[in-house]
Structure 1
Amino acid sequence: MKLRISAKLASVHSEVNVTDLEEKTVFTTKTDPLSAPRCTRLYDAEGVELAHYETTRTDEKDRAYSVSIDGGVSFTTKRSFRVSSSTCEAIIKVGQTGWTVPTQRAWSSRFEVHSEDGKVLVRAKQVPALRGDVYDIEVLDEDHAIEMVLLALIARSVIRDDAPIPV
C-alpha cells in the first residue's frame, strides 16, 4: 500500500492527511495544541477515531510516545541516537513489539520500520519538492497497516523535532 503523509494547508502540524496514490483521504490526524500531554488522534476517511498517541511537551530527550489503538492494542516508543554526537541518525524502538524505526535526516529525510528479525515493514522518503514535511510511504505489512501508519506519523514528527533550529 502506497500512501502520502502531508500537513493540511494552514494547519501548523496539528492536522495531517494520509492519502492514497489517487489523493483520496485514507486517514487524518488532529492534534489538540493545548493538550498536556500532547494528544494526536488518528481517524479513518469517514471520521471514525481509530487510535491516538501522546507525548509530553517537555520530552526532548527520548521523544517518547504512548500509542493506543481501539481494540486494546497499545505500545510505547522511545528514540535514541545511533551515534551520540550526531542527531542525523536516530532509532525509534517500539516497546513490546520488537519493531525498530531507523531514521536519517538529511536533504531528503527517510526512515523504515523493521520487524524484530530485520524484515522491512515500511519504507518512507521525504518528498523535497513539496511544502512541509511531506513523505511518501510504502506499507509492506498491511496486516498491521494502522500500526505502520502511526509509526510513520511518529517518525515524521521525531525527524522534524530533531532538526536543528536555524539561528
Structure 2
Amino acid sequence: MAERGRHGAGIQAVAARSGVAKSTIYRRWSSRDELIVDALAELFAVGETTLPDDPRAQLRVALRQLHEQWSDDRFRRIMRRVAADGSEAPGEYRRFRDQLVSRRRTLLLEILGRCVAAGLIRAETDLGWAADLLVAPVIVAAMTHRNDVTDEQLDFSLETVLSGLAPPRL
C-alpha cells in the first residue's frame, strides 16, 4: 500500500511478496479491498489506555495518541496513499473510514460528551464537528509532510477549540 497504493496491492502482488499461494490468501479474504481493510485495521489498532479523570486531560491524551500514530512514517505514507486512492474509489474510502476510524472517533466523541457534562463545552455543540476540529491539525501536518508538531502546538489547538466551544460566561 505504501509503495503502490490500492491498485498495486492486489492479491497477486501480496501473494508474491508474502511467498504464499493466492489460494491461501483467498481462503481468508474474498477480495483485495477486504484484505486492505483488514491490513489497515491492524495498522489502525488502538490499544487500551487508562484515561485520567479530568475530561480536558482525557482530550489531551487522545490528541497525543493520535499525533503519535500519525508521526509514524509508515502510517503517514499509507494514509497519504489511502487519501489519494480515495479520490478514485470513494466508496471504498468511506468503507475504510467507517470501519477503521469509528473506534477512535467513538472514544473521542465519548470524551467530548464528558466535556459537555463537565461544563467545558456548550450542550448544543455538534460533537462530530468538534472532533474534526481537534484532529484536523494533526492530520493536515502529517499529510503535508510537517513532522515537527510539538506538544505545545497540540495544547494550543486543544485550548483554542475548547475556548471556542465553551459556554458563555455569566
TM interval, shorter chain, is under 0.3
With a CA cutoff of 8 Å and minimum separation of 6, indicate the structure with the bigger relative contact order.
Answer: 2
TM-score between both structures, scaled by the size of structure 2: 0.24
Task: Give the structure with the larger helix fraction.
Answer: 2
TM-score between both structures, scaled by the size of structure 1: 0.24
Task: Give the structure with the larger strand fraction.
Answer: 1
Structure label with greater radius of gyration: 2
